[in-house]
Amino acid sequence: MRYIKKEATEKVAFLEGENRYYLENAEKQLIAEITFTRPNDQFFIIDHTFVDDSLRGKGIAQALVKEVVTKAREEGKTIIPLCPFAKLEFEKKKEYADVWRR
């Protein structure tokens, strides 16, 4: 997997659904998404991250992971990043160590 170290240059307002954050285009088509499960009241499992080709290289995937990290911190939970992209983000960003459930 190729890792592009790129942060979103502007704040992205993601839509929030049940156990997911996402973006839709003007036609209501899904263009970016991160999903996670809540197996119990202690942690989340990030299981999927998707970004449409039209948004690649803009830091959207990183921002999606950050949204789940923020939610975990707010709720006092930890995260198991099963999604390969999310796991790579946790490995690269030491600031996620406090919520990484190893």
Delimit the domains of the chain by residue range.
15-97
What type of residue is 42? Q
Residue 100 gets which letter from DSSP?
B
Which tens digits make up the pLDDT trace of 68-99? 999 999 999 999 999 999 999 999 999 999 99
CATH of 15-97, one of 3.40.50.12280, 3.40.605.10, 3.40.630.30, 3.90.930.12: 3.40.630.30
Residue 18 gets which letter from DSSP?
T
Distances (CA, A) of 3 to 10, 23, 63: 20, 21, 14
Provide the pLDDT for residue 1: 40
Which tens digits make up the pLDDT trace of 9-50? 457 899 999 999 999 999 999 999 999 999 999 999 999 999
Cβ–Cβ < 8 Å for 31, 23 = yes
pLDDT(3) > 50: no
What type of residue is 33? E
